[in-house]
């Protein structure tokens, strides 16, 4: 389920508070990681997770600049009370990831091809 749709479905319910509590617990762990490696804090999605962990409500989170970074992600909730949920990239992010991975693979293939071609020229 798309994260923004999920937030719409649980807003002003008991699940809203459970979700915010779970993100608050996770935000403490994320903050420890940011303190150990400050470059991680520059990643926008990490900042969005921290903002959700400190938000008072879903509406307050929507008003923040960080909502834009999480709204298109997907969420899978198994048992919110125990904290069993997963966030993973949505379709838009996967397209970007595959495009970048494809460009990297293409670059490596072209590099290997050019090196082989150059070696054959030197042998002649």
Condensed to tens digits (0 to 9), the pLDDT of residues 83-110 reads 788 888 888 889 999 999 999 999 999 9
Task: Output the pLDDT for position 124.
Answer: 62
| CA 101 – CA 50 distance, rounded (Å) | 28
Task: Output the pLDDT for position 110.
Answer: 96
Q: Residues 60, 112: one domain?
A: no
In a 3-state reduction of DSSP, which class is residue 12? coil
Model-wide pTM > 0.85: no
Full domain range(s) for residue 13: 3-88
Q: Residues 98, 81: one domain?
A: no
| CA 52 – CA 97 distance, rounded (Å) | 24
Task: Output the pLDDT for position 109.
Answer: 97
In a 3-state reduction of DSSP, which class is residue 89? coil
Q: Which residues pair with 79 in a beta bridge?
A: 84
Q: Is the pLDDT of residue 112 over 90?
A: yes
Q: Is the pLDDT of residue 52 over 90?
A: no
Comparison of pLDDT for 70 and 105, the residue scoring more? 105
Q: Residues 8, 66: one domain?
A: yes
Q: Residues 21, 72: one domain?
A: yes
Q: Residues 22, 57: one domain?
A: yes
């Amino acid at each position: 389920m798309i994260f923004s749709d999920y937030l719409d479905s649980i807003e002003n319910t008991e699940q809203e508070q459970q979700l915010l509590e779970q993100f608050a617990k996770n935000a403490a762990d994320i903050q420890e990681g940011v303190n150990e490696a400050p470059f991680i804090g520059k990643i926008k999605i990490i900042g969005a997770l921290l903002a959700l962990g400190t938000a008072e409500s879903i509406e307050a989170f929507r008003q923040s600049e960080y909502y834009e970074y999480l709204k298109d992600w997907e969420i899978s909730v198994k048992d919110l009370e125990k904290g069993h949920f997963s966030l993973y990239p949505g379709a838009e992010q996967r397209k970007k990831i595959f495009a970048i991975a494809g460009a990297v693979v293409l670059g490596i293939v072209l590099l290997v091809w050019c090196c082989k071609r150059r070696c054959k020229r030197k042998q002649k």
